[in-house]
């Protein structure tokens, strides 16, 4: 599955802030049971559930930036490192958290780097995941093949005015267009 291929989404699922908090708390409970003592959050949007989980677990949070985007536009075919993993993860049980596991590639890349940095144990987690993510995170609060609209993408500034995120609008349109070979 190709990242950002919205034609494969099955419907739309909007999440509000309360739902994001509840899903993050679910992850925190699971990760507490797994003995996590450190969180690595993947910037940008993965930091939101990572902060909630780290606060709930009362543990250290280290951000990384691995992305296919530049200035919020998908620019790269594969995830690019922008901010590396902190060396403080060495010897710890680390949860690597992102908001969405689409292909699973970003979480796997960061988890491998955390392991290289000497973590005692690495556990992947995401707020949401699609069934086709490979590898699928060890902990997922919501598995859905719908287009997930997060509250931070619902309205963004476009030319100085609040509007739906242009990528979300395009993704919804892509689901409605007939696919090649279909009526």
pLDDT value of residue 175: 79
Average pLDDT (99-105) is 95
**Bond into 66 cis (ω within 30):** no
Average pLDDT (45-58) is 98
pTM above 0.85, yes or no: yes
Average pLDDT (68-86) is 92
Strand partners, 43: 65
Average pLDDT (1-21) is 83
Average pLDDT (119-133) is 97
Give the pair of three-digit tokens for residue 26. 């679910």
Average pLDDT (126-130) is 97
Q: 16-145, which class in CATH?
A: alpha beta
Cβ atoms < 10 Å from Cβ of 75: 11
CA distances from 16 to 43, 53, 77, 150, 156 (A): 20, 17, 30, 7, 15
Distance in angstroms (rounded) separating the CA atoms of residues 5 and 102 = 10
Distance in angstroms (rounded) separating the CA atoms of residues 132 and 145 = 8
- Helix/strand/coil (H/E/C) assignment for every residue in the chain: CCCCCHHHCCCEEECCHHHHHHHHHHHHHHHHHCCCCEEEEEECCCHHHHHHHHHHHCCEEEEEEEECEECCEECCCCCEEEECCCHHHCCCEEEEEEEEECCCHHHHHHHHHHHHCCCCEEEEEEEEECCCCCCCCCEEEEECCCEEECHHHHCEEECCEEECCHHHHHHHHHHHCCCCCCC
**Mean pLDDT over all residues of the chain?**
92
Domain boundaries, the chain: 16-145
Contact at 8 Å (CB) between 45 and 152?
yes
- In the structure, what pLDDT confidence band is assigned to residue 1 with cuts at 50, 70 and 90? very low
Checking if the pLDDT of 142 tops 70, the result is: yes
Distance in angstroms (rounded) separating the CA atoms of residues 59 and 73 = 32
Strand partners, 161: 158
């Amino acid at each position: 599955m190709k990242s950002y291929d919205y034609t494969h989404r099955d419907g739309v699922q909007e999440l509000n802030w309360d739902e994001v908090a509840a899903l993050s708390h679910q992850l925190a409970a699971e990760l507490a049971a797994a003995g996590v003592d450190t969180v690595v959050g993947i910037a940008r949007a993965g930091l939101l559930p990572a902060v909630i989980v780290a606060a709930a677990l009362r543990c250290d949070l280290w951000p990384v930036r691995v992305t296919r985007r530049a200035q919020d536009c998908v620019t790269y075919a594969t995830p690019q490192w922008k901010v590396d993993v902190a060396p403080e993860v060495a010897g710890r049980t680390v949860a690597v958290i992102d908001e969405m596991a689409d292909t699973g590639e970003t979480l796997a890349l960061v988890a491998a780097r955390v392991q290289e940095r000497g973590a005692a144990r690495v556990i992947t987690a995401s707020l949401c995941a699609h069934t086709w993510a490979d590898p699928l995170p060890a902990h997922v609060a919501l598995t859905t093949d719908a287009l997930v609209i997060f509250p931070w993408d619902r309205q963004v500034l476009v030319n100085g005015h609040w509007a739906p995120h242009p990528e979300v609008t395009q993704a919804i349109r892509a689901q409605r267009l007939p696919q090649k070979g279909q009526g």
